[in-house]
Amino acid sequence: MQTTASPDTPALAVSRLGHRFGSKVALHDVSFTLPVGSFTVLLGLNGAGKTTLFSLITRLYSSRHGSIRLFGHDIDRSPGQALATLGVVFQARTIDLDLTVGQNLHYHAALFGLSRREAGHRIAAELERAGLADREGDVLRKLSGGQLRRVEIARALLHRPRLLLLDEPTVGLDMASRQAMLGHIRRLKQETGLSVLFATHLFDEIQAEDTILLLHKGRLVAEGGVPTLIERSEQPDLPRAFDTLTRLAS
């Protein structure tokens, strides 16, 4: 049965989510909601459980405990409707470097049932937005790391999702490329109304107005705006707030 989302339905609602790898607990009792149109940072050190959480949201892993809803669609009961709302950029690249930009994007568009004509229009629009309008015929190996990431973001937006997940998309990029990538993502959010969940372990990628989900050793130990976390920790800045809140939770 199709679920119709009301105006106040969250973009993402995670409830009491848990996951194990054998005897190792990767996520424990994680619950949160993302409002529609929000930019939320999933902050945690490597190994905190960020990628596991993304793998559960995208159904790469099957969750054994808890629930995940995307715009009101339960990911287990209505996976097609739920995942259709989602665009994803994983930390590991998932594009074919021996194909051209256009070939990669057309292949993805075909997976979502877009006609060749419609795919062409959308690809041209997303490459223009990404500043890559003149690179459609280039083999991906010719592109820089930052350009490859922008191709992946363009690909993730072709089916017009409502929530964009980005798992440490700036890993391996130099400072200038990181800043350009972050600017691109934030402009996308402003221009399109996308909801964004952005995973990182780098404090300089966070802005004061962002909402933070602080994940530590598989547990959500704090959430709220940057000023809220700083005030709660009684520290002068976010890095020291992070150290205090994770130490108290350990």
Confidence class for position 6, pLDDT limits 50, 70, 90:
low
Residue 8 has a pLDDT of 81
Give 97's pLDDT tier (boundaries 50, 70, 90). very high
- Averaged confidence pLDDT in the chain: 93
**Domain of 26, in residue numbers:** 12-85+161-249
Let me know whether 121 and 207 are in one domain.
Answer: no
- As a whole number, mean pLDDT of residues 182-207 equals 94
pTM over 0.85: yes
Quick: pLDDT tens for 208-226: 999 999 999 999 999 999 9
Per-residue model confidence (pLDDT) at position 231: 96
DSSP conformation class of 222: E
* Domain end among 160, 184, 213: 160
Sign of CA dihedral 47, 245, 57, 114: negative
Q: Give the integer Cα–Cα distance in Å for 11 and 174.
A: 31
Q: Is residue 198 part of a domain?
A: yes
Mean pLDDT confidence for 79-102: 94
Q: Are residues 117 and 174 in the same domain?
A: no
For 197-211, letters b (16+ CB in 10 Å) and e give bbbbbeeebbeeebb
3 within some domain = no
